[in-house]
Amino acid sequence: MITKQQFLKIAGLAILTIGSSSLFAASGAAAAGNAPAPSADGASVVGKVKFTGQLPQPAKVSMNADPSCAKLHPGPAVSQDFLTGSDNSLGNVIVFISDGLGNRSFDVPTEAVTFEQKGCEYAPHVVAVRANQKLKMVNSDNTTHNIHPLPANNREWNKAEPAGSTMEESFPREEIAIPVKCNVHPWMKSYVAVFKHPYFAVTGKDGSFQLPNLPPGDYTVEAWHEKLGTMTQKITITAGQTKSLDFTFKAH
């Protein structure tokens, strides 16, 4: 029989799990299925990514080579190099722990991460997965696409994907980040980041991110952007602490 004290302990852990999952889902998103398991002494890093200076105007993209793509965009399509908010916030930035986890190992999520071809664009433009986690590629368009990653530390592959089809692939080794192109539609470009741990997030338009349930310790936190490069900061975080950490990229 469970004592009252044991029941309260179990209930408390359940509340902690639910609360941590909800908070993680609302933060600058990491990929589906990659939230690290909650723990009583888990710490969090939260923050925002911004930029200073003048960013280049998004380049207009012509899809006239494929009328089925062009008709999906009544206005001019633009490149996805820079995703910004009204307060100089910066999206499509990968924020992650680059050092400090030692030789810890983590189970590979069983849930696949979806990478969609929609409107003759990759969505999301920047996607993050775990090493050996399934990347589910969905062609939601009425035209054939091609997915061609160009990795430096993983196997290169090049696959056509007919309209309305789905296929899966994975990358066994960590790499940040792998350029992806479509050989059929040269304007289609994206990046896939592959991690051996679950402590990463990709910022949305508001620039916010959260790295929850970190073990206490000393870490290097890195921010990566496809055009603006990388930035790093070192932190020390204690059990149960929530540490604020912001990055500001300088426009070239």
Domain ranges of the chain: 4-250
Tokens read off for 182: 């479509």
Judge whether 251 and 81 are in contact, CB under 8 Å: no
Model pLDDT for residues 145-199, shown as the tens digit of each residue: 999 999 999 999 999 999 999 999 999 999 999 999 999 999 999 999 999 999 9
pLDDT in tens, 184-242: 999 999 999 999 999 999 999 999 999 999 999 999 999 999 999 999 999 999 999 99
CATH topology of domain 4-250: Immunoglobulin-like (2.60.40)
Confidence at 5, pLDDT banded by 50, 70, 90? very low
- Locus of tokens 């029941």: 7
Mean pLDDT over all residues of the chain? 87
DSSP line for 99-158: ES-TT---PPPSSPEEEEEETTEEESSEEEEETT--EEEEE-SSS-EEEEE--SSS----
User: At residue 134, does pLDDT exceed 70?
Assistant: yes
- The pLDDT value recorded for residue 27 is 39
Confidence tier at 35 by pLDDT (50, 70, 90): low
Average pLDDT, integer, range 33-61? 85
